[in-house]
A = this chain, B = another copy of it.
Amino acid sequence: MPRNAKRDQMVKEERRRQILQAATSVFYHKGLAAVKMSDVATEAGLSYGHVYNHFSSKQELLASIVLEGQEAYRRFLLQAIESPGDAVSKLQRIIDQLFIHSNTAKTYWIVLQAQASDILPEDVKGEIKARMLHNLDLFSRIIIQGQEEGRFAAGDAKEITTIVITLLHNSGLWEIRGLESPKQPILTYILKLVSL
């Protein structure tokens, strides 16, 4: 009996998401170095062979995590930028959301490693870099807005953004390193950096 094509499609999408989710978690916690496809499968609750029905290789899986993660981050930033409010409240919203969408935070670390390692081919790494710069550019609009509002210090917006992002995402990394999370909200430190 033929099955319901539409439902099949949805289940398939769901499986893909499930694997991507599991893989993100595993790559984040073990580092690109140590991840086996079977780890990913186990985390996702599937057989390892099945992962290959969705991603043709480990490399493609990693590339998908990174590129789709960057895409999600882009949408995430756009939403923050387009929401009403001043630069400070936008920063606040980004930080809050980042704690909720923990995948986005995890992806930062994975992207960092992927860019530094030889695991992905050069062309994919080029694409990743391009998207990173694009997202940096998006983020910098908030800094520029703050400067225009007279709340943030003048200076190269891209450079300031780079530092803000570094701070923002690394605080998530402290956890892996066994450091305590900051007691003061990270926004406090960021504001010190950008304020007049």
Which residues of A are interface residues toward B (Cβ below 8 A)? 28-34, 109, 112-113, 115-119, 129, 132, 153, 155-156, 159, 162-163, 166-167, 170-171, 173-174, 176-180, 182-184, 189, 192-193, 195
Asked if B167 and A112 make an inter-chain contact with CB atoms under 8 angstroms apart, the answer reads no
Q: A177 to chain B: which residues have CB within 8 Å? A: 112, 115-116, 129, 132
Among the listed B156, B162, B170, B192, which residue makes an inter-chain contact with A166, where contact means beta carbons less than 8 Å apart? B170
Nearest B residue to A166 by beta-carbon distance?
B170
Asked if B184 and A118 make an inter-chain contact with CB atoms under 8 angstroms apart, the answer reads no
Nearest B residue to A47 by beta-carbon distance?
B2
Asked if A117 and B30 make an inter-chain contact with CB atoms under 8 angstroms apart, the answer reads yes
For A33, A170, A176, which residue has the most chain B Cβ atoms within 10 angstroms?
A: A33
Asked if A173 and B112 make an inter-chain contact with CB atoms under 8 angstroms apart, the answer reads yes
Asked if A159 and B184 make an inter-chain contact with CB atoms under 8 angstroms apart, the answer reads yes
